[in-house]
Chains A and B, each alone.
Chain A
């Protein structure tokens, strides 16, 4: 069960990290209009209510999050402070995530369909360490441990354990063609 004090502390960390990454040109007054901030704020409240036993409020805030920002962070997922979701559109997150996680966009963290083993986050859900960066369209699926300071490349699909300080490469090879006739 998470305390209100802890929720406030995590939100402060989120806000500080978001402002640090906004740079000098970011307009602080319009922070509430940013989907990046909205989705993290709504998830913190949703997780707080859900873990305190008020599951209706938790689910209502989750629905609001899904409606407003398109970010599907389940109310059961325990995310440490300093979360940045750069583009929350089409991002899903179920599982346990450490501090200072950075999610770029179109990412998915959650259970696969095959394995339902429980490693502490829930049936079939992953546990992710601190300072993890997920690139565009990266997927972390299944009951796996992802270590600290891991960078997961664009479109990478991670279905097995990843040790600390690892860089998972981008998916795919690109062939460059020059269109004929033009």
Chain B
């Protein structure tokens, strides 16, 4: 009889741990999803600024066609990117393309002084700051989720239950990954 009670106790305890642990994984996964949505909003905002920027520069420097095409291509790549890794790569590509566009703009003082160009420049800088802020949050949530999924005992059952380690938002060859991770 005693053994039966001990058995019931153990089963109940294991069940409790399983429920608490499972709920924690769900919560952490939701946080990762929220973190990704935050980045996505800012990436979209950045992509939305591009057509205006291209039009503004074109008004002063119509013959710099190569640069316009490059920026437009980079923007399309960003919009088609499906995973955090490819999105980070595409975002990096867009940064390089925009950098080239601004370098071109250097040669046109009237363009540089125009109201709409200054405004776009400010908006783009702001969006880049916000992408990096959103990235810090997202990567912290991914770090936390991955640590949970990859530690015992979840290491064995997380994958069958549908909890797969997530990808960081970082471009290939990017060294700005969280070296110090305070994620909590």
Answer whether A and B are interacting partners: no
- B-side residues, CB < 8 A to A, are none
